[in-house]
Amino acid sequence: MFKWFTKWFHRLGSPPHFYRIAGLWLPWLSGLFGILVIAGLYGGLVLAPPDYQQGESYRIIFVHVPAAWMSLFIYMVMAFCGVVVLVWRMKLAEIVLISAAPVGASFTFLALVTGSLWGKPMWGTYWVWDARLTSELILLFLYLGVIGLYGAIDDKRVAARAVATLAIVGVVNIPIIHYSVEWWNSLHQGPTVTKFDKPSIHWSMLIPLLLMALAFKLYFIISLFQRVRAELLHRERNSRWVEELIRS
């Protein structure tokens, strides 16, 4: 089993193999994304009832919460790729790491903006130096740091090792973000979905929220595949498989 996984993992790291597999999956993933995002938005904005405390303003969670989840998930993907880059020097992992960074930064920015819009009617202000908000802002700076550091180094193999190190070091911020509402006094509400007993959110709100979370995850995969395929073509433009692809 381990030998099969190792063989599959190294084969997936082959640029022409990944380019072909990603191209086959993209249309199906795009169709499924469209279905999920329409169902999630309709369920969250139309079918779900108003919240008994927050009224209609709570509906921003159907964008804010999935975006916040994705900001953490994508950084973990980058940190994992960073380990692969430093240990196995896999070229595809380098490309995935840097290709994921702009998407992760976009989700983090979206989470901060929507959180601020939600905070105005709830807290009376767009921003407070709350533990959750501050650590999420630091996450955005980490994403921007990865993007800036990669662009500042001409040798992209050296740049990949540098951003891999930064991604791994920065992963310490992830548990801080996740547990900040439990470790410190925070204006931000505690967990409602990821609780060990049961989510303290009605199923009529939970189902659209989970649909939007799946839709956002598919969007990340679609964007990542497209960016990685484009970067592979750029890096491998002089290779035989790209020349054969152009001729076909």
pLDDT value of position 2:
54
Residue 233 has pLDDT above 50, yes or no: yes
Residue 199 has pLDDT above 90, yes or no: no
Average pLDDT of the residues in 61-85 = 97
Average pLDDT of the residues in 129-137 = 90
The number of folded domains in the chain is: 1
Beta strands of 58-169 (E only): which ranges? none
Residue 174 lies in a domain: yes
Higher pLDDT, 144 or 14: 144
Neighbours of 122 (CB within 10 A): 16
The conformation of residue 238, written as its DSSP 8-state character, comes to T
Q: What is the pTM of this model?
A: 0.91
Residue 49 has pLDDT above 80, yes or no: yes
Residue 12 lies in a domain: no
Residue 2 lies in a domain: no
Residue 109 lies in a domain: yes
Neighbours of 167 (CB within 10 A): 29
Q: Residue 171 in contact with residue 75, Cβ under 8 Å?
A: yes
Residue 9 lies in a domain: no
CA pair distance 69, 115, nearest whole angstrom? 13
pLDDT value of position 191:
58
Residue 7 lies in a domain: no
pLDDT tens per residue, range 82-109: 999 999 999 999 999 999 999 999 999 9
Domain that holds residue 189: 18-247
Please give the structure tokens belonging to residue 41: 């938005």
Residue 20 has φ and ψ, to the nearest 5°, of -70, -45
Q: Residue 71 in contact with residue 111, Cβ under 8 Å?
A: yes
- The pLDDT confidence band at residue 231, using thresholds 50, 70 and 90, is very high
pLDDT value of position 196:
41
CA pair distance 139, 142, nearest whole angstrom? 5
Higher pLDDT, 212 or 179: 212
Residue 11 lies in a domain: no
Residue 4 lies in a domain: no
* 232 class by beta-carbon count within 10 Å (0-12 exposed, 13-18 middle, 19+ buried): buried
